[in-house]
Amino acid sequence: MKQRVVIGFLGTVLDEGRTAKRWERWRPTIALAQQEDWVVDRLELLYDPKHQRLLDRIERDLASISPETELVPRALPLADPWDFEQVYAALHGFVRGYSFDTEREEYLVHITTGTHVAQICLFLLTEARYFPARLLQSSPPQRGSKGVGGELRTIDLDLSRYDLLAQRFAEERAADLSLLKSGIATLNPAFNRLIDAIERVATRSRAPMLLLGPTGAGKSFLARQVYQLKRQRHQLNGPFVEVNCATLHGEGSMAALFGHTKGAYTGAVGERAGLLRQADGGLLFLDEIGDLGVDEQAMLLKAIEEKRFYPLGSDHEVESDFQLIAGTCRDLQRDVAEGRFREDLYARINLWTFPLPGLAERREDIAPNVSFELERQGRELGRMVRFNKQALVRYLAYAESGEAQWRGNFRELSASVTRLATLAEGGRITEVDVLEEIERLRTQWHAPVPSVGGVDLADLLGEEGLAGLDRFDRMQLAAVVAECRRHANLSAAGRALFDVSRIRRKSSNDADRLRKYLTKFGLDWERVKTDR
């Protein structure tokens, strides 16, 4: 059987026994030895040497009441027992030097005596497992009670042992998960595990998060839900600021993010705070962070690590403390290897990385998302909209089939439901409405890519590679390839393609810019010129 060891403070008021009438015979430290069928084998008593007289009295009384209890006085001088830093440091030093033997002894930390500061410090150190112990509370005997020892209560800080508390925490966590999913009853196991991991990180950490996934997979939506969760938990009090880095170019990019002073560049007619300062105390979501320029990446890294940065044209740093979530559909590891993205910034934002699957990988979640979108459309249209039974069956049969490509992911599904809800007569979506929408989707997904300059991208990329590109990327790439084939070398093609920006950037590295663009699609100059 393990020996029972109690560690606590000498109570300079309560242990004197000179308080209110009901308590005048009750002294907490002595009461530990006045319990029936409950013996303290060793009492480690922390005390200030200036209270030696009281300690001597406690030692005599304890010996007469419970001679089997060993009293071990531990001198702990405190200049100010109400100074948190001083008390915590003294207790931390004590516990670090104490030899615990959990195999042979069980430990209890008595938190009834000592100043409130001392009690708080004992709690914190026990919660952090510096004291491998349970907490012990003592209270005076109730009115009319015959005993003089009062009552003892132990508290195990492993809260999972308390069924009601555990149930409450489980309910709160379920509510947090529902918030992240906007109440959508998702069925995809991988996605549900992902949301579970995001919830744990979001509620426990302020480190940057990186959301990966194709366009329309819900990165922006999820970032906003994380913000709502942290705001609900009082972890953030500032605004949600969203920036699409793909829309930022040139000096305007630096100014938009970091702000600028008046006259910092041509057109800067006034001072601008910038989006990073606007996000102070809140959450900054940088979507398509892979499209951020190299200079902006360097300044962003400093802002993340130091919470300080220089606005454009300023000699004075400003501060902004924000939570960062970044999103991208690019392969940042490849971008780092190819010199398009800073390795140090990638390392900083890659602590918590979550890949979001596209809609085609979550076909079992299409039905609950259709219901969610229909409710949202009803609110926006100001009228209830519903599917006829057969219409819903027909729509889901197509939407969940392999024929439905959902290249635009949830954004495309939302657009489809928006069309159905808008065109529904009397708020009822019929089978005819669904058949017309299915035909629209088929036409949209199977429309041929217009030929640009006679370029057949299927010859360059293959059918599978071509299917993975948005229509915008196909058309842009075809135009670039056509221009390349009109020039003798990479430099000449680069000068023609970057004829305006090369002057503004005062750069002649057009060939490198073009080479990097082609590399993004797995192409090089020789292949572009010869594969005709």
Look at strands 105-110 and 70-75 and give their pairing.
unpaired
Residues 215 and 334 in one domain: yes
Specify whether the backbone of 430 is left (phi greater than 0), alpha (psi in -120 to 50) or beta: beta
What pLDDT, in 10s, does the model give residues 77-108?
999 999 999 999 999 999 989 999 988 999 99
Query: What CA–CA distance (Å, rounded) separates 524 from 337?
Result: 16
Contact 326, 289 (CB under 8 A): yes
Q: What is the arrangement of strands in the sheet containing 209-212, beginning at the earlier edge strand?
A: 240-244, 283-287, 323-328, 209-212, 352-355
Q: Are residues 413 and 499 in the same domain?
A: no
Question: Around 167, how many Cα atoms within 13 Å sit in the side-chain half-sphere?
Answer: 3
Residue 162 lies inside a defined structural domain of this protein: no
CATH number at 83 reads: 3.40.50.10770
What letter represents residue 481's amino acid? V
What is the C-alpha separation between 208 and 322, in angstroms, rounded? 10
Q: What domain range is 394 assigned to?
A: 361-446
SS3 label, residue 80: coil
* One-letter identity of residue 213: G
Task: Say which range, 166-170, 202-206, 377-381, has the weakest mean pLDDT.
Answer: 166-170
Q: How many domains does the chain have?
A: 4
- Say which residue the tokens 């490849």 belong to: 334
Examine the domain organization and report whether 234 and 262 are in the same domain.
yes
Tell me: the pLDDT tens digits for 311-329? 887 888 899 999 999 999 9
Closest by Cα among 490, 489, 460, 492 to 473: 460
Find the helix packing angle between 116-127 and 84-96, rounded to 10°. 40
Residue 96 and residue 52 share a domain:
yes
CA distances in angstroms from 53 to 10, 15, 17, 159, listed in the order given: 11, 12, 14, 40
The yes-or-no verdict on residue 402 having pLDDT over 70 is: yes
- 266 and 317, same structural domain? yes
Q: Are residues 371 and 516 in the same domain?
A: no
Residue 244's DSSP bridge partners are: 287
> Tokens 């969760």 belong to which residue?
229
Report the distance separating Cα 186 and Cα 314, nearest Å: 49
Same domain, 341 and 384: no
The reply to whether 420 falls in a domain is yes
Residue 185 sits in the same domain as residue 287? yes
Band (400; pLDDT cuts 50, 70, 90): very high
pTM: 0.62
Indicate if 368 and 340 belong to the same structural domain.
no
Check which CATH number belongs to the domain holding 242 and give it: 3.40.50.300
